[in-house]
Structure 1
Amino acid sequence: MIWIILPAYNEEESLPLLLNTIKETFQDKDYHYKVLVVNDGSTDKTLDVAHKYENNMPLEIFDHGKNMGLGKAILNGLKHALKKKENGDIIITLDADNTHPPSLFIPMINKINEGFDIVIASRYAKGGREVGLSPIRKVLSRTASIIIKSGFNVGAAKDCTCGFRAYKPSFLRKAFDIYGDNLVSESSFVCMSEILIKLSSLGASIDEVPLVLRYDMKKGSSKMKFIYTILRYINLILRKKSLLKNVNTD
């Protein structure tokens, strides 16, 4: 089973386009898949859109009821998929705003099957690039990745902030056994860097596939709070020592 986790907050315009593309991607492919839409307290018709697709494709909904942030959406999505995982499962996360192309699913799945624990869809791998992203967002993402790579051992990862990833569930389970829910303590976009740092500290093998980020395909406004995100990245770097000690105490 391929689990596809979509954290969604006010994506009523983009979500149908993405779900249709996901369905087309797996058409005539020898894969069983399920989409998990984590509705993070959307105030538009995102939840209604997701319900409409329940009868058209393999799809489940995890509804927060209120906005809890990307970190909590990723955390609950991963935990839900891991509870239902079977041998051979793969978990993929990506944005619900239609900027991440499902055409990369198969190359990412193949990399996991080769033995990698994490496969990142990377804007900075050879052949990757960004289309339609503002210069200031480009600078923030690239600078954050450079700083994280210089401050932490993240192996072969070049793109440390992108949320489009494939994970080997057995390695995620190992990480949850060690960190518990503290595996994802950040609520903002910074959570993706936090997850990468913590999994890397446990010896995760990492590879990348080139991503052409199509921000020009995005419908609606950005959900990123720019100044807040910068401050959270700074905080992440400053708490380097405590970050990797925040293990499960249950």
Structure 2
Amino acid sequence: MSANETALATRAEPDRERARTTGRAHVVLPAFNEETALPVLLERLAEAALTEELTVWVVDDGSSDRSAAVAEAGFGGLDVRVVRHAVNLGLGRAVQTGLRAALEKAQDDDIVVVMDADDTHDPGLIRRLREEIAGGADVAICSRFVPGGDDRTAPPVRRLLSRGAAGLFRHALAVEGVRDFTSGYRAYRATLLARASAHWGERLIEEQGFACMVELLLKLRHCSPVIAEVPLALRYDRKQGPSKLKLRRTLGQYLKLLVRDRLSPAPYRKL
């Protein structure tokens, strides 16, 4: 039995939250200057919407290009909604804004998916993520570091950072079932996010950069979630334009987050 199967088996007690997972997928796309990538990605999401019930939330994080206009133009019959930041606030705030917008409309049986807006993630995996949550997971992560995963198209420095961070967090943090802590492509049970959001409010995501994905996992672990991973073949060769990841800054954010997690008390009540 795999680690994921064991985790699911140990959490097989009746739970109304886990009984309904056939609803809509709310796809959150944090976007900063993705005018070139968005049309291609929206087309691929429209193809996925032929068999999946999707609402796409594009969070335009103060882009200086036509990202918002491209998203508002949509693609075919795809349900695209745009939320704008007047200025660039960073990935963390964009994810937070997207999650809040999605949760305002989500039903209890819906899922919320976060993925990159640069067309490096395959929308076809939304079905796999939904299946994992339908099978009992609360969080499903598209992972580069499980059998079938692949990050070879990413630049060497980015691969080194992702793999190093994965090793560090796996040994330093008690989050069962996670190998790829920094993956930006995940699905969450809407009711799980709603519980966490009700507790932390605006503090659900405090990190501004790429460390926000790790921070959200660390806070959700206080809800005792079942976490599953599915293989992700990262398509960095599809990326248009330069990377927005700043190596030194991101390393500092990861280390600061690790220290803060060690020093922060657990929630004062069960979530």
TM-score, normalised on structure 2? 0.87
Deviation of 1:202 (Å): 2.3
Which residue pairs with 2:150 in the alignment? Answer: 129
Distance 1:76 1:161 in 2: 19
Residue 170 (structure 1) aligned with residue 191 (structure 2): yes
Q: What is the DSSP-based 3-state SS (H/G/I as helix, E as strand, rest coil) of the residue aligned with 1:130? A: coil
Report 1:74-85 matches (<5 A).
74-85=95-106
Which residue pairs with 2:138 in the alignment? Answer: 117
Q: 8 Å contact 2:46–2:75 — kept in the other structure?
A: no
Which residue pairs with 2:168 in the alignment? Answer: 147
Q: 8 Å contact 1:6–1:35 — kept in the other structure?
A: yes
Deviation of 1:55 (Å): 6.5
Q: Deviations over 1:78-106 (max 9, x none)?
A: 11111111131111000000001011010
Distance 1:85 1:237 in 2: 31
Q: 8 Å contact 1:99–1:215 — kept in the other structure?
A: yes
Which residue pairs with 2:92 in the alignment? Answer: 71
- Identify which range, 10-19 or 195-204, moves more after superposition: 195-204
Aligned residue pairs total: 246
| 1:207 counterpart letter in structure 2 | A
Compared with structure 1, are the counterparts of its residues 201 and 149 closer, same or farther at alpha carbon in structure 2 (3 Å cutoff)? Answer: farther
Which residue pairs with 1:20 in the alignment? Answer: 43
Report 1:93-242 matches (<5 A).
93-242=114-263
| 2:71 counterpart letter in structure 1 | A
Q: Deviations over 1:142-197 (max 9, x none)?
A: 11111111111111010000110000011111111222221100000000001111
Identity %: 37
Deviation of 1:58 (Å): 0.5
| 1:144 counterpart letter in structure 2 | A
Compared with structure 1, are the counterparts of its residues 167 and 57 closer, same or farther at alpha carbon in structure 2 (3 Å cutoff)? Answer: same
Distance 1:117 1:55 in 2: 31
Report 1:36-55 matches (<5 A).
36-53=57-74
* Alignment match of 1:4 (pick from 4, 27, 47): 27
Q: 8 Å contact 1:123–1:129 — kept in the other structure?
A: yes
Structure 1 segments (4+ residues) deviating >4 Å: 243-248
The answer for unaligned runs of 5 or more in structure 1 is none
| 1:145 counterpart letter in structure 2 | A
RMSD after superposition: 1.6
Q: 8 Å contact 1:156–1:207 — kept in the other structure?
A: yes
Compared with structure 1, are the counterparts of its residues 155 and 3 closer, same or farther at alpha carbon in structure 2 (3 Å cutoff)? Answer: same
- Identify which range, 235-244 or 88-97, moves more after superposition: 235-244
Deviation of 1:56 (Å): 4.1
The answer for unaligned runs of 5 or more in structure 2 is 1-23
Q: 8 Å contact 1:179–1:247 — kept in the other structure?
A: no
| 2:124 counterpart letter in structure 1 | S
